[in-house]
Structure 1
Amino acid sequence: MLRAPATATLPELLLRPWRDDDAEALIAAYRDPVLRRWTRAPVTTTAEARRFLASAHRDWADGRRFSFAVLEPDPAGDILVAQVILKNVTARGEDAEVGYWTAAPARGRGVAPHALTAVTDWAFDRFAGLRRLDLLHQIDNPASCRVAEKAGYRFQEVLSARPPFPRDGHRHARECPPRRGR
């Protein structure tokens, strides 16, 4: 489990692999029309949630894709506020990709950049050969530009529309900081 420490404006965030008992919270998050707009495969039924969670478990086991449920601790039960994913990791690969979504009640509070930074730092620490992470989003999603910038991902280029993106997109990137002892 990763922790994104509390800040002056944010509570601590817990980041962990998805669990089977996350199905209801996942379905609730996807009831949001804004989230559904930006995702290719919304989770709207128990069967879809089970498939999503089974895929997330397989991806972790495979070691090439790592989906984190992002939670705010709460005495009544942790609250799902986002997902951050590291994907396209390969044994000798120098670059990979990150993605995320934020649940409606958590938007605009800095949750996404805070969680994205935690996963970015984890990825650079865990994968010795990793040199760069890319964040891609559609050009008509300015909120993702703000998240990328706040998490230290600099704008790199406009990408032409190509599946799965129906519109042109942006590529932001964050380079691995110099590693100590190397």
Structure 2
Amino acid sequence: MPDITTRLHADATPTAPALVLRPWSPADAAGLAVLRGDEALRRWTSFSVEDVPSAARWLREQRRGWDEGHRFAFAVEEVDPSGTGGPPAGHVVLKDVAPGAGSAEVGYWTVARARGRGIAPRALRALTDWAFTTFAGDGLTRLGLRHQGDNTASCRVAGKSGYELAAVLSPNPPAHPVQGHLHVRHRAATPR
């Protein structure tokens, strides 16, 4: 079972700094509360932080997932050449992990300043590689990624991360009020 000190890395590219993926911490509450005005985040995700107290609740939920061993959420930070990270540029999560289950789900979001810069695919690939390595002994061979069907940016991120479109999903209110897409990646698959 991974512990709360787990850190993942994505190397720098010629046009983007390295990334560090680290578990969220209580110190992130104020920075999360600032995101309440991010309309794209509200439109495409279930992120429901309104203020510092609701951010603290959200962070406790992320910690509880680690403690219970079924949800592993990471803050994504860009790291400068000195190794110093900045405020979180995004979030990736491995969820619905269960011993003996062959599949789980991933999710992600990025803050406005990080969109369109290749951060989401790099972070998602790092999370995916970690998930398949860490949970191989538990039988994990398949990861799914769901998003709203009209979210073309998420389709691009999925493709860049080696997740193939597997199904168009019918609306299922209230959790999924509009048509969605399911992308899938298998452990043996190689990202593009």
TM-score range, shorter chain: over 0.9
The Cα offsets for residues 100-121 of structure 1, whole Å up to 9 and x where unpaired, read as 0010000000000000000000
Q: Does 1:141 align with 2:144?
A: no
Equivalence for 1:115:
123
- Structure-2 separation of matches of 1:26 and 1:41: 10
Could you list the runs of 5+ residues in structure 2 that have no partner in the other structure?
1-6
Residue 104 of structure 2: aligned partner: 96
Query: Where does residue 22 of structure 2 map in the other structure?
Result: 16
Match of 2:95 among 87, 92, 97: 87
RMSD: 1.4
Partners of 2:114 and 2:179 lie apart in 1 by 27
Any stretches of 5+ residues in structure 1 without a counterpart? Answer: none
CA displacement at 1:29 relative to structure 2: 2.8
Shift of 1:41: 3.7
1:73 is displaced (CA, Å) by 2.1
Give the AA of the match of 2:38. D
Q: 2:186 aligns with which of 166, 175, 182?
A: 175
1:27 aligns with 2:33: yes
In 2, Cα distance between equivalents of 1:7 and 1:124:
23
Matched to 2:160, the amino acid is K
1:5 and 1:77, CA in 2 relative to 1: closer, same or farther beyond 3 A?
Answer: closer
Give the SS at the match of 2:185.
strand
SS at match of 1:67: strand
Q: Is the 8 A contact 1:73 1:79 kept in 2?
A: no
DSSP-derived class of the 1:30 partner = helix
User: How far apart are the structure 1 equivalents of 2:165 and 2:45?
Assistant: 21
SS of the equivalent of 1:148 reads helix
Q: What is the letter of the counterpart of residue 110 of structure 1?
A: G
Q: 1:58 aligns with which of 48, 55, 64?
A: 64
Deviation sequence 1:129-180 (CA, Å, 0-9, x none): 10100000011101100000000000111011114111010000000028xx
For 2:36 and 2:71, locate their aligned partners in 1 and report how far apart those are by CA, in whole Å.
21
Identity of aligned residues (%): 51
Secondary structure of residue in 1 paired with 2:167: strand
- 1:162 aligned partner: 172
Asked if the contact 2:71–2:95 (Cα under 8 Å) also holds between the matched residues in 1, the reply is: yes
Q: Is 1:114–1:151's contact at 8 Å kept on the other side of the alignment?
A: yes
1: CA distance between counterparts of 2:129 and 2:34?
Answer: 29
**Partner Cα distance (1:98, 1:33) in 2:** 22
Cross-structure match for 1:7: 13
Contact 2:36 2:51 in 1 (8 A): no
